[in-house]
Amino acid sequence: MDESNMPAAEAEVVEGGIEPVAYELAFHVLPTVAEGEVATVVAGLISELTRAGATIFDQEAAERFDLAYEIEKYLEGRHRHFKSAYFGWVRFRLTPAALEGVAEYLGAHKELLRYLLVRLTKEEEARPFRFHESLAVKRVTTIGSEEEVVEVIPEVAATEVVEEVVVAERGEEVKESV
């Protein structure tokens, strides 16, 4: 679609050219990258974005977590399977014309398992979803005889044993270690 038939929401033409648009780059860094080197990989991604003319306005640091399903990637002459990765995201403003060069760079980046570039709406831009923070909040559902209550429990250190009290049928209390 050329600029003459582009919908008004897409064009966003301002004096002197096209106004930068808000995007989010979500990415998985390969789990084979040393934990201390993940920050360097992310810094390289941010450096490439700024080199392309992007203005970074928000980000969430990459942290390792287990994937919902196994991902296969062809690396070093063979198909490899990954069950975990370092996930992070960066939000930035960039002109749509410069986005193609960024996408080419990301596609050729050997330390990325996968990535996703998304254009943000004004509402999404104003209210970012903090993935790693949401994982840290534990929720326990207590089912009573008449109503269901959801309690938010703050994260506990991984070395501690967490005991939850679960109300079983007939009002008995059962302790389970998680």
Q: What is the pLDDT of residues 116-129, one digit of tens each?
A: 999 998 887 777 76
Rounded distance between C-alpha atoms, residue 123 and residue 84, angstroms: 30
pTM over 0.85: no
Q: What is the pLDDT of residues 46-63, one digit of tens each?
A: 999 999 999 999 898 899
Mind listing the domains of the chain with CATH numbers?
Answer: 8-133 (3.30.70.60), 137-177 (no CATH)
Element (H or E) spanning 113, and its range? Answer: strand 112-119
